[in-house]
Amino acid sequence: MMLSVLISIYYKENKNYLSQALDSILTQTVRPDEVILVKDGELTEELDNVIEEYKTKYPIIRTLSLSTNQGLGKALNEGLKHCSYNLVARMDTDDIAKPDRFEKQIKVFEKFPDIDICSAWIEEFEDTTNNILSVKKLPETHSEIIRYARHRCPVNHPVVMYKKEAVLQAGGYEGFPEDYRLWVKMLKNGSHFYNIQESLLYFRFSRNMIKRRGGWKYAIADMKSQIDFYKLKLFGIPTLIYNILVRVAIRLIPNNIRYFIYQNMLRK
């Protein structure tokens, strides 16, 4: 099966992390047929130099430049238009894919032609992949994923592989949170999901990430997204109220408590 890899990058990214991420997808046991790299606005000279170096070494890399920073969702929507193949793997510029990630995900699509989206577990690490902090595990089957989606995001976006046509039929990325909202739309549109029950990617984690996810801005955004999910008939009023109460509380508690909950209650 022919495979596109879709990546978005903006000026705050780390050049060394970018190199590690690109190395991890370009040395897979099953290599991609193309890599679409979306420059989300003007980049630093260092990042541009890394990209040009890899484009010279790997002609399968194609870049798409946006004049201004659009945000992840809009950048990915634009990148999807330029993906030549129906099967698309997402990759972020600071994560590290395991060597057989693409091989194992493609096998799922070959074995189960009705699957539209396949993700996996991820291992969250700090500094080096020898320092694993937690594993983000998700349910395996479609029916389990539907139930899980009523309370939490059912797909690990950094390690997802999906059919382009199914994403476009659901309307692509939009709003907040871009990934969770897309999965809900795809579920309601009849797409079939599957999560491989092992980690296929190292996800770069930092305490600052938890800090950034706090405050009223995110609390209000969470409330709005949950109301939208209710309107899409993902769940009823009781679940809507429960989800809003839990999410708002987590957004507003002190950072150290949020970090403790994140590490000890929301991860394995």
- Fold adopted by 3-205: Spore Coat Polysaccharide Biosynthesis Protein SpsA; Chain A (3.90.550)
Domain boundaries, the chain: 3-205, 209-264
Q: Per the structure block, which two tokens stand in for 181?
A: 């909202």
Q: What is the pLDDT of residues 195-226, one digit of tens each?
A: 999 999 999 987 666 666 788 888 999 999 99
Question: 253 falls in which pLDDT band (50, 70, 90)?
Answer: confident
| For residues 104-119, average pLDDT | 98
Mean pLDDT for 183-206 is 96
| Distances, alpha carbon 198 to alpha carbons 53, 101, 129, 137, 255, in Å | 33, 10, 16, 8, 29
Tokens of 47: 């990042």
| Contacts with 43 (C-beta within 8 Å, 6 or more apart), sequence order | 9, 10, 11, 13, 51
The closest of 218, 221, 145 to 183, measured between CA atoms, is: 145
Task: Look up residue 13 and give its DSSP letter.
Answer: S
pTM of the model: 0.92
pLDDT of residue 140: 97
Question: Rounded mean pLDDT of the chain?
Answer: 94
Cα–Cα distance between 229 and 240 in angstroms, integer? 8
* Inter-residue contact 200 to 123 (CB < 8 Å): no
12-69 pLDDT per residue, tens: 999 999 999 999 999 999 999 999 999 999 999 999 999 999 999 999 999 999 999 9
